[in-house]
Amino acid sequence: MTTMILRRLIQLPLILLAIYTITLALAWAVPGSPVENPDRRPKPEVIEQMEKQYNLDSFWKFYVSYLDSATGFEYARDRLSGRIAQDQRLAEAAGQPAPVRPIFNLGPSLEYDDWTVNEIVSGALPVSITLGAAAMLIALVIGVGAGVVGAVKPNSIADFATLSVALVGISLPSFVIGTVLLLVFSLLVAWFPVAGWGSPRAIVLPAVTLSLPFAAYIARLTRMGMIDALGADFIRTARAKGAAEASVLFKHALKNAFLPVLSFLGPATALAMTGSFIVERVFTVPGIGQHFVNGVQNKDLFLIMGVVLVFATMLILFNLAVDVLYRWIDPRIEA
Amino acid sequence: MLRLLLPVILLLGLVGFSVVTDRSAPRADFTFINRGDVNTLDPQRMSWMQDLRVARLLFEGLVQNDVMSADFGIVPAIAESWSVSDDGLIWTFNLREDAKWNNGEPVTAEDFRYSWRRAMLPDLASDYVKMFLVIKGAQDFYDRRQAALEAFTEREFASGKEREAAAEQLWVDTQSWFDEMVGVRAPDPRTLVVTLKQPVPYFLDLAAFAVFYPVYQPLVERYERPDPVTARLIRRPGWTKPGVLVSNGPFELTEWRFKRDMRLEANPHWWNKDSLAIGSIDIPSVNDPNATTLAYQTGTVDWVSDVTAPYRGDMIADKQDFYAEHADLVARLRASEPDQFAVDRKLPDDPRKHIHAIPAFGTYFYNFNCKPLLPDGRPNPFHDARVRRAFAMCIDKQAIADEVRRLGEPAADQLIPPGSIGGYTSPKGLPNVGQAASEAERDAIVDQARALLVEADFPMDLVVELLFNKDSGHDLIGQAIAKNWQEFLGVQTRLAQKEIKIFREDLKNKQYMTARAGWYGDYGDPTTFLYVNYSTDGNNDRAYNNPDYDALLDRAARELDPAKRMELLRQAEELMLFEAPLVPIFYYANVQLFDAAKLTGLTPHPRSKNNLFLVDILGDGRGADVPQDMRPPAPEITR
């Protein structure tokens, strides 16, 4: 187990480097200058100097300098050489606020003058994590419940009904489901707010919308796993020794049927936490998904790279966490 | 079994923790959805309407527009009085004694000097630097700093330390250049003397523009340091955040969460705080057009500044139905009430009347590329004004306004919305197929246009390309225009739809034949529209180059007599419309949602500039609780 974790942690920077390189190359190829404002343009010579200042005048200069600051090497170097302490002293002497030096410096946002990418990400990520976690919670409850119901009586009406709902959950796009939920529960009966974030009630509709495709998938995984498990010898044994039906279902069968769900849970949770752009937009949730799209639209290189790196790191760590959980729940699996 | 539940427990804990820690503040007195998210709260860096709108709440300039008067006149703000020399060059502003920053410090003339200097620095890349260049010496100062910065990057230095010191020194020198060169002086803390390069009759209107508003020097200068590599002044973000920002306007910033919400509270140090009828303002960030409308309909917000939902045309049609149901009353009210909001206020309560289409200070138009050659090196037929004129005449503008846009926007004959600028008479535009009274008249216009094409030897095998960006219905307008040109002129067309960034890049590089465009005026003078066609202007996307046009604008710039000056500008617009580097299609309307019976202080003036500190919720017992209407009659916006 420890070797597995260690191996995965060593892989992490390599995978990130590959993602970083590919993303930057693609983002760099987007036409237009990142420092330009749409309608009223600064003079060409000003643009040239701004590009120089942000290392945007050469791909490799940007590649190296951004990697340096985003991975914390720059911070470590400045800390060791005493530069950070010196800057702080200088600022103090001049009556200036000490410069904020995050360890992983993701750079300034070129589009939003007043914000750094670190500020943007740290403001939006908790929102997305909460929304994603709530959605996965709902997906688990709905999905496992529906899966078990379907597996207990395969091909019954209940099974057919849950599978149909699952099919709808997978095939209907979330902006349709979201808009319908909004119309019914916010406008018609006014149980939930139309937009915004910051109250438990505001989480419900976006979380439900986000959860449906995941719930549908989990339902099918659970159903298949349960049908397999219920046909297995150990279940017959459990029944033969007189175990209660509930105990057979949940203690014996579900434990085995849950394993494929668990392995799906890792990437799904990461996806729910970062890939909720459409749901965020429909319900006006201030999450991180919008920054992927806005970053690319504005060619805000720092923002694109920042959110991609954070997302990639999250995805890798979640997969690792699931693998650890997996082995813990089912010790038969060896590293 | 417990092990199985662990993922569930983990997720539950996460959600619970966040719900407990992340709570929103109670509702503010006034909540509105802005045009878009605020990009920056640094006035000198602003260029977006939503930023400027918030800037007028947080900061206060020398003077302000009286947004409730039909002529949008200038009234005192931080300056209690001012005077101008006979030659129109020297403006002296006397600052109020009780003007204070929200930390209690007095607002001084030096604050304005400092802020205007920031705007004039190439380092800051202010989008509106051009407005400051009417001040004497500003252009030279800008050029000198820019040249020095360029020279600096070329220079070799023995060490990094030396380079750093040189960058510092250059910054010190730059400040003294400003003192020597630029005509902005502060003889005492309460007097600001501005010397202009040439008389600028609309200078007060510029001073009322938020980019001219002051920032607090002791705060801002702490966040700006010369970059050791390029010597450019680097702006560190941070000073525009709540708790840090020092401002001098009616409100202060108490919360700003990126792309989430912003909250303002009344500034206890504002000299005119007793005039406020609201104590707090919430600006939630809602970008989805549908959610914006729903937020209003569920009572979450009091005002939506820009309704963009695709069904807004239907909402406006519903309001027309509502008007029709009360036709007599509407007619009576319109006869006595010049302000459209006053009419709505006095009509019976009905949700259909909450939508308002207000003429805006902007025009939708199509560009013609005026360069002699096309991007691929072929000769450009649109270089010939006759070709442009022929194409301009054959766009059915009225049909586009009525059937494609459906917002009640007037078809446009001129670039400058008529009636939006006091003292300016619009010239006549080109004849247009859309406004022909009869079939015969329309055929005559088409024949005239076709004759122009023959005269100009237009290559009929050329495929005319229409460039526009995706979204916002530009595709529908492009299709309508293409169809007009095919039908009336018999030319072939191709629609080129591109991503906004690529679209802008193509415009800048003149990689197009014809392209959609739009322009909103910034200040109350025709030049705010006319300069976009000046040959050397940075916004001249058409590469239009007519020495006669430039000369008319130059002459107007030197003309001291206001009436004569306006006449020169009128001639310039007339010439430009005839030469048709662009063809105006329609004047924008701004669509808003609010209940005129509940909310007052919003202006129906076509200058599209609201001073939200005037807002009063009627019947809440705060402020005067009396409706504020436009006085005297708002100008009629008709062709």
d(C-alpha A82, C-alpha A65), whole Å = 20
- A53 vs B contacts (CB less than 8 Å): 227, 229-230, 232, 234
What is the predicted pLDDT for the residue at B2?
Answer: 61
Confidence check: pLDDT of B511 > 80: yes
Please judge whether A194 and B538 are an interchain contact, meaning their C-beta atoms are less than 8 angstroms apart.
no
Q: What is residue B519's three-state secondary structure? A: strand
Residue among B452, B477, B454 at smallest CA distance from B466? B477
What is the token pair recorded at B294?
Answer: 């729903």
Contact B335, B557 (CB under 8 A): no
- If one compares B375 and A119, the residue with the highest pLDDT of the two is A119
What is the predicted pLDDT for the residue at B639?
Answer: 32
What is the predicted pLDDT for the residue at A94?
Answer: 66
What is the predicted pLDDT for the residue at B516?
Answer: 95
Query: What is the full DSSP assignment across B473-495?
Result: THHHHHHHHHHHIIIII--EEEE
Mutation site for A-interface testing, chosen from B2, B11, B128 by largest number of A Cβ within 10 Å: B11
Note whether B3 contacts A: Cβ–Cβ < 8 A. Answer: yes
Mutation site for A-interface testing, chosen from B259, B260, B294, B540 by largest number of A Cβ within 10 Å: B259
d(C-alpha A26, C-alpha B51), whole Å = 31
d(C-alpha B346, C-alpha B342), whole Å = 6
Q: What percent of chain B has pLDDT over 90?
A: 65
Largest CA distance in chain B: 91
Place of tokens 């940007």: A62
Q: How many helices (H) and strands (E) does chain B have?
A: 20, 20
**Four-point Cα dihedral B143, B149, B151, B153, nearest 10:** -150
Over residues A324-335, the mean pLDDT reads 69
End-to-end C-alpha distance for chain A, whole angstroms: 6
- B215 vs A contacts (CB less than 8 Å): none
DSSP state of A250: I
Note whether B26 contacts A: Cβ–Cβ < 8 A. Answer: no
Contact B504, A38 (CB under 8 A): yes
Place of tokens 């709260």: B41
Confidence check: pLDDT of B504 > 90: no
Q: What is residue B55's three-state secondary structure? A: helix
Residue among A151, A75, A124, A116 at smallest CA distance from A274? A124
Place of tokens 């380092």: B123
pLDDT band at A95 (very low <50, low <70, confident <90, very high): low
- Count CB-CB contacts under 10 A for residue A163: 18
Q: Which domains does chain B have, with CATH numbers?
A: 2-37+244-355+597-617 (3.40.190.10), 43-240 (3.90.76.10), 359-589 (3.10.105.10)
Confidence check: pLDDT of B635 > 60: no
Contact B382, B458 (CB under 8 A): no
Measuring CA to CA, how many Å separate B91 from each of A65, B63, B114, B199? 49, 13, 17, 10
Confidence check: pLDDT of B24 > 70: no
Confidence check: pLDDT of A333 > 70: no
- B298 vs A contacts (CB less than 8 Å): 186-187, 190, 193-194
- B240 vs A contacts (CB less than 8 Å): 114
Note whether B175 contacts A: Cβ–Cβ < 8 A. Answer: no
Over residues A124-143, the mean pLDDT reads 89
Residue B256 gets the label, from left (phi > 0), alpha (psi -120 to 50) or beta, of: beta
Residue among A111, A120, A280 at smallest CA distance from B288? A280
d(C-alpha B355, C-alpha B342), whole Å = 14
pLDDT band at A335 (very low <50, low <70, confident <90, very high): very low
Residues 54-93 of chain A with CB under 8 A from chain B are: none
Residue range B270-286, pLDDT digits in tens? 999 999 999 999 999 88
Confidence check: pLDDT of A123 > 50: yes
Note whether B240 contacts A: Cβ–Cβ < 8 A. Answer: yes
What is the predicted pLDDT for the residue at B430?
Answer: 92
DSSP state of B319: H
What is the predicted pLDDT for the residue at B634?
Answer: 45
Query: What is the full DSSP assignment across B27-39?
Result: PPSEEEE-SS---
Residue range B141-174, pLDDT digits in tens? 999 999 999 899 888 888 888 998 999 999 999 9
Residues 270-289 of chain B with CB under 8 A from chain A are: 284-288
Note whether B40 contacts A: Cβ–Cβ < 8 A. Answer: yes
Please judge whether A195 and B1 are an interchain contact, meaning their C-beta atoms are less than 8 angstroms apart.
no
Mutation site for B-interface testing, chosen from A28, A40, A88 by largest number of B Cβ within 10 Å: A40
DSSP state of A188: I
Note whether A283 contacts B: Cβ–Cβ < 8 A. Answer: yes
What is the token pair recorded at B128?
Answer: 């509106």
Q: What is residue B468's three-state secondary structure? A: strand
Nearest to B153 among A52, A297, A328 (CB): A52
Nearest to B11 among A35, A50, A137 (CB): A137
Mean pLDDT for chain A overall: 83
d(CA B559, nearest CA chain A) in Å: 27
Q: What pairing do the DSSP bridges indicate for beta strands B191-195 and B184-188?
A: antiparallel
d(C-alpha A213, C-alpha A211), whole Å = 6
Contact A46, A33 (CB under 8 A): no
Low-confidence winner among A86-90, A138-142, B350-354, B467-471 (lowest mean pLDDT): A86-90
Residue range A270-311, pLDDT digits in tens? 788 876 788 888 888 888 888 888 888 788 899 999 999 998
Residue range B524-537, pLDDT digits in tens? 899 999 999 999 88
Mutation site for A-interface testing, chosen from B6, B150, B245, B294 by largest number of A Cβ within 10 Å: B294
pLDDT band at A42 (very low <50, low <70, confident <90, very high): low
Residue range A107-120, pLDDT digits in tens? 888 888 889 999 99
Residue range B405-431, pLDDT digits in tens? 888 899 999 999 988 888 899 999 999
Residue among A225, A309, A227 at smallest CA distance from A260? A225
Bridge partners (DSSP) listed for residue B590? B358
Nearest to B286 among A50, A97, A195 (CB): A195
pLDDT band at A38 (very low <50, low <70, confident <90, very high): low
Q: What percent of chain B has pLDDT over 70?
A: 97
d(C-alpha B141, C-alpha B137), whole Å = 6
Q: What pairing do the DSSP bridges indicate for beta strands B303-304 and B30-33?
A: parallel
Q: So what CATH class is A126-329?
A: mainly alpha
Which chain A residue is nearest to residue B154, measuring alpha carbons? Answer: A49
d(C-alpha A36, C-alpha B372), whole Å = 27
Please judge whether A43 and B538 are an interchain contact, meaning their C-beta atoms are less than 8 angstroms apart.
yes
Residues 87-146 of chain B with CB under 8 A from chain A are: 122, 125, 127-128, 146
Confidence check: pLDDT of A264 > 90: no
Nearest to A195 among B3, B258, B291 (CB): B291
The reported pTM is 0.86
Mean pLDDT for chain B overall: 90
Q: Up-side HSE of residue B442: CA atoms within 13 Å toward CB?
A: 14
- Compute the 3-state secondary structure of chain A and give helix, strand, coil in percent, each to the nearest 5: 75, 0, 25
pLDDT band at B10 (very low <50, low <70, confident <90, very high): confident
Over residues B178-207, the mean pLDDT reads 95
Note whether B153 contacts A: Cβ–Cβ < 8 A. Answer: yes
d(C-alpha B101, C-alpha B246), whole Å = 7
Over residues A90-101, the mean pLDDT reads 71
DSSP state of B69: B
Low-confidence winner among A189-193, A224-228, B66-70, B313-317 (lowest mean pLDDT): A189-193
pLDDT band at B337 (very low <50, low <70, confident <90, very high): confident
Measuring CA to CA, how many Å separate B146 from each of A31, A95, B548, B631? 27, 29, 31, 46
Confidence check: pLDDT of A73 > 60: yes
Residues 522-541 of chain B with CB under 8 A from chain A are: 538-539
- If one compares B150 and A334, the residue with the highest pLDDT of the two is B150
Confidence check: pLDDT of A185 > 60: yes
Note whether B151 contacts A: Cβ–Cβ < 8 A. Answer: no
What is the token pair recorded at A235?
Answer: 């279940």
DSSP state of B105: P
Residue B294 Cα to chain centre, angstroms: 26
Note whether B198 contacts A: Cβ–Cβ < 8 A. Answer: no
d(CA B14, nearest CA chain A) in Å: 6
Please judge whether B284 and A38 are an interchain contact, meaning their C-beta atoms are less than 8 angstroms apart.
no
- B235 vs A contacts (CB less than 8 Å): 113
d(C-alpha B408, C-alpha A154), whole Å = 60
What is the token pair recorded at B266?
Answer: 């009344």
- If one compares B125 and A274, the residue with the highest pLDDT of the two is B125
d(CA B11, nearest CA chain A) in Å: 5
Please judge whether A325 and B6 are an interchain contact, meaning their C-beta atoms are less than 8 angstroms apart.
yes
Place of tokens 């000046």: B534
- A251 vs B contacts (CB less than 8 Å): 1
ipTM of the complex: 0.81
Contact B607, B66 (CB under 8 A): no
pLDDT band at B124 (very low <50, low <70, confident <90, very high): confident
Please judge whether B260 and A39 are an interchain contact, meaning their C-beta atoms are less than 8 angstroms apart.
no
Mutation site for B-interface testing, chosen from A28, A33, A46, A144 by largest number of B Cβ within 10 Å: A46
What is the predicted pLDDT for the residue at B147?
Answer: 93
Note whether B507 contacts A: Cβ–Cβ < 8 A. Answer: no
